[in-house]
Amino acid sequence: MLETPIVEATLQRALAGGGDFADVFVEDRASTSSTYDDGKVEEMRSSRSRGAGIRVVRGETTGFAHTSDISLEGLRAAADAAAAAAQAGGPGTKVAPLVERTSTRPHLIETLPETVSKAKKVEMMARADEAARAESGSITQVTSSYADSRRRILVANSDGVLATDDQVRTRFAVSCVASADTGLQTGSEAPGRTVGFEFFDEHPPEEIARIAAARAVSKLEARPAPSAKLPVVLRRGAGGVLFHEACGHGLEADLVSRDASVFAGKVGERVAGRGVTLVDDGTLARDWGACAIDDEGALAQRNVLIDDGILTDYMWDLLRARRDGRASSGNGRRETYQHLPMVRMTNTYITEGTEDPDEIIRQTPYGLYCVALGGGQVNTATGDFVFGITEAYMIEEGRITYPVRSAQLIGNGPDALRAVDAVGNDFETWTGMCGKDGQSVPVSAGQPTLRVAELTVGGTAA
């Protein structure tokens, strides 16, 4: 992307007036997206952006500047601006010779989406539309959407790190509306993977459409959910977003350092039930948050945060790790070159257990079986959360019975972790975009089928 001498000269310029550390982040991003509604293409977009962000650190002060001009002159101007923002002064810090850091993709890209015709992408959406409508006569509206992106980055810093990555992501979504005498109900499904167009080998558009349509149709017969404290069985993958929000954010070192995390100061303590191991893993092949390096040049890695219920570590970016005399955990991420990196999750999940998922349900006399969660709110300082439920069923006498609607899960993240009393031997992940401090990055979260002994279900049944 940039020749090494230009990168080295930019780092030298950034530290010429003083400073303890500097880095350069260069990004070249291209994306396409399209929407198909009511049998026709409604929208098709493509975008391209390229630029660099330069950071200079002096003591506790960070200066940052970004530019879309990645010529030597443009980079020099950004370096000067970042240095001035850091209020640098005095002799400059020596820049270590750049040594390329070898990184390995978690997987190989078979077909770059940019090589696939627009007609082929539209075909996938049309196939989804047809499959969803064939699922049931009650389906009255189908919207499908396709998106892909390619993000090439280069990261270099004054410690001598030079690293690159080429990240390709593909996602497909289907949303359906079902209509009956009971009213209108919606259902959706939106998987994504850090892969190329071979995504559809694993996720055919017909399968995605059938899941979305079945979700909408099932709600037509759903009854109001009860309001009670109940055992809740979370289907594999369904609780990923819950543990991502209610527990994962509280394990990010920046929130811990600000005393904005319920997990602050608890390393070595039991924070979850036995058998519960929580991991953040940027190397999890094909998943939405997978990468070879993070946005500070650290190699992606598998970090065990909670091991058999014991809190073992937090997630770290480069600067906080340097201040604590330790290595980054590969969790420094940023939305684009125009943003500063911060501590962020990648692929965060609870590992598989040993129990049969069907047996977990059979051993639950009465409770809620949650298949999919929607949006929610979390207070990271306390761990308290509220999540909407988009698909759920009652469990009666150890069997899944009727669907329910209009429900929320209410609880506390650490309490939910401690209340996990059954962990299945299956596994699935959820795909999403994680927002924090105005930045959004791709992540996945997951878990096997598991049971939380008690959560508050906020329903509308009388």
The domain that holds 175 is classified in CATH as: 3.30.2290.10
What integer pLDDT is reported at residue 102 of this predicted model? Answer: 80
| Helices and strands (H and E) in the chain: how many | 10, 24
Q: Is 72 exposed, middle or buried (0-12, 13-18, 19+ CB in 10 A)?
A: middle
Rg over alpha carbons for the chain, rounded to the nearest Å, is: 24
What integer pLDDT is reported at residue 461 of this predicted model? Answer: 75
Same domain, 171 and 86: no
Same domain, 413 and 339: yes
Domain boundary among 221, 246, 270: 221
What integer pLDDT is reported at residue 103 of this predicted model? Answer: 82
SS3 content of the chain, % helix, strand, coil (to 5): 20, 45, 35
Same domain, 215 and 300: no
Q: Which residues contact 316 (CB under 8 A, 6 or more apart)?
A: 253, 324, 326, 327, 328, 329, 331, 332, 343
Residue 107, pLDDT above cutoff 90: no
β-sheet with 347-350: strand ranges across: 310-311, 302-307, 278-281, 347-350, 439-447, 428-436
Residue 89, pLDDT above cutoff 90: no
Structure tokens at 168: 């390709």
257-308 pLDDT, tens digit per residue, is 999 999 999 999 999 999 999 999 999 989 999 999 999 999 999 999 999 9
Same domain, 128 and 69: no
Query: pLDDT tier at 87 (50, 70, 90 boundaries)?
Result: confident
- Centre a 10 Å sphere on the Cβ of residue 454 and count the other Cβ atoms it contains: 17
Residue 6, pLDDT above cutoff 90: yes
Ordered DSSP codes for 314-344: -B--HHHHHHTTS---S-EE-SSTTS--EE-
In a domain, 60, yes or no: yes
Q: How far is CA 123 from the centre of its chain?
A: 28
Of the candidate ranges 43-47, 96-100, 332-336, the one whose mean pLDDT is the lowest: 96-100
Same domain, 278 and 414: yes
Same domain, 86 and 141: no
Where on the phi/psi map is residue 275: left (φ > 0), alpha (ψ -120 to 50), or beta? left
What integer pLDDT is reported at residue 375 of this predicted model? Answer: 82
116-174 pLDDT, tens digit per residue, is 999 999 999 999 999 999 999 999 999 999 999 999 999 999 999 999 999 999 999 99
User: What's the half-sphere exposure (Cβ side, CA atoms, 13 Å) at 271?
Assistant: 27
Q: Which residues contact 390 (CB under 8 A, 6 or more apart)?
A: 187, 188, 215, 372, 373, 374
Q: Which of 117, 189, 191, 109 is closest to 150 using CA atoms? A: 109
Which amino acid would we find at residue 142?
V
For range 78-83, the mean pLDDT: 95
Whether pTM exceeds 0.75: yes
Query: pLDDT tier at 94 (50, 70, 90 boundaries)?
Result: low
Domain boundary among 182, 201, 221: 221
Domain extent at residue 91: 4-30+44-100
Q: Which of 209, 191, 207 is closest to 199 using CA atoms? A: 191
Partners of 170 in the beta sheet? 148, 193
Residues 429 and 375 sit within 8 Å (Cβ to Cβ): no
Same domain, 246 and 368: yes
Residues 23 and 54 sit within 8 Å (Cβ to Cβ): yes
Query: pLDDT tier at 104 (50, 70, 90 boundaries)?
Result: confident
Question: What's the chain's length in residues?
Answer: 462
Same domain, 176 and 284: no
In a domain, 38, yes or no: no
Same domain, 446 and 381: yes
Residue 91, pLDDT above cutoff 70: no
SS (H, E, C) 123-150: HHHHHHHHHHHHHCCCEEEEEEEEEEEE
In a domain, 108, yes or no: no
Structure tokens at 12: 């030298």
Residues 306 and 28 sit within 8 Å (Cβ to Cβ): no
Residues 455 and 411 sit within 8 Å (Cβ to Cβ): yes
385-427 pLDDT, tens digit per residue, is 999 999 999 999 999 999 998 899 999 999 999 999 999 999 9
Same domain, 328 and 441: yes
Residues 131 and 206 sit within 8 Å (Cβ to Cβ): yes
Mean pLDDT for all residues in the chain: 94
Of the candidate ranges 57-61, 263-267, 340-344, 358-362, the one whose mean pLDDT is the lowest: 57-61
Domain boundary among 183, 203, 221: 221
User: What's the half-sphere exposure (Cβ side, CA atoms, 13 Å) at 337?
Assistant: 27
Same domain, 316 and 388: yes
Number of domains comprising the chain: 3
Same domain, 296 and 359: yes
**Element housing 257 (H / E):** helix 253-257
Residues 221 and 391 sit within 8 Å (Cβ to Cβ): no
Structure tokens at 73: 């002159």
State the Cα angle at 153 between 294 and 124, rounded to 5°.
95
Residues 231 and 454 sit within 8 Å (Cβ to Cβ): yes
